[in-house]
Amino acid sequence: MKKLHALLLASAVCFDLSAGSPASRSPAMDLALSLNEAFASAADSASRSVVVINVITRNPVSLRLRDPELDAESLPSEPRHQREGSRSYSDGGGRKGGQAFTAQPLSYDSQGSGVILREDGYILTNRHVVDDAQHIHVRLADGREYSGELRGVDALSDLAVVKIEACDLKVATLGNSDRTRVGEF
């Protein structure tokens, strides 16, 4: 039994040593390790330019029912812009006690990310991250925090630009799309 354990231990050590030797690696493994290092280096470099964006949004179309017996058919069919604010509607059923529902704006928090475009505080993010934002809060990779202001959006490409009052920021290096071929990564 001791000989079997010794043989298994020796085999495991030999196998482990030979698996790690460069002479035994395939070209595919070398390529995979090279790509792994390239991606890790790119992530290390870019991470200093990545920011966390926290948003407080007011949603004017959410409804809270005061009467749980009301059903969906009793809800108004007004356009969104006419439902903003807080108003009461009758259910149309002649219920006693003025039972109705109230359209109340709800606030909620959401989070996304962005990258620093310019040293003077311009940040690129997705439009859906900051859409309808009442307050934009930006946290940098080094822990500094700023209030942000929405400067522009492009709904078609789902992009937005946020500005913070800061300087000497670490800018992300973006590629040139004119020199990029389809299929490159």
CA 22 to chain centre: 40
**pLDDT (mean) for 41-70:** 76
Cα–Cα distance measured from residue 165 to residue 122, given in angstroms and rounded to the nearest whole number: 9
Distance CA 181, CA 24 (A): 34
Q: Write down the pTM of the prediction.
A: 0.59
The tokens of 139 are what? 């946290």
Contact 164, 119 (CB under 8 A): no
Identify the bridge partners of residue 21 per DSSP, sorted by sequence position: none
The burial of 114, by beta-carbon neighbours within 10 Å (0-12 exposed, 13-18 middle, 19 or more buried), is given as buried
| pLDDT value at residue 175 | 83
Mean pLDDT calculated for residue range 8-12: 57
Burial 148-167 (b: 16+ CB within 10 A, else e): bebeebeeeeeebbbbbebe
The model's pLDDT over 111-159, given as tens digits with 9 standing for 90+, comes to: 999 999 999 999 999 999 998 899 999 999 999 999 999 999 999 999 9
- The CA distance from 42 to 149, in Å, is 29
- Tell me how far apart the alpha carbons of residues 184 and 179 are, in angstroms, rounded to a whole number: 10
When the candidates are 2.40.10.10, 3.40.50.10320, 3.30.565.10, 1.10.10.60, the CATH number that belongs to 47-59+108-172 is 2.40.10.10
**Worst-scoring range by mean pLDDT, 41-50, 81-90, 99-108, 161-170?**
81-90
Give the domain ranges of the chain: 47-59+108-172, 63-103
The 8-class DSSP code of residue 23 comes to G
Nearest to 124 by CA among 171, 165, 167, 184: 171
Rounded CA gap, 160 and 140, in Å? 17
Q: What is the pLDDT of residues 77-114, one digit of tens each?
A: 554 444 444 444 444 444 444 444 555 566 668 899 99
Q: What are phi and psi of 157, to 5 degrees?
A: -95, 0
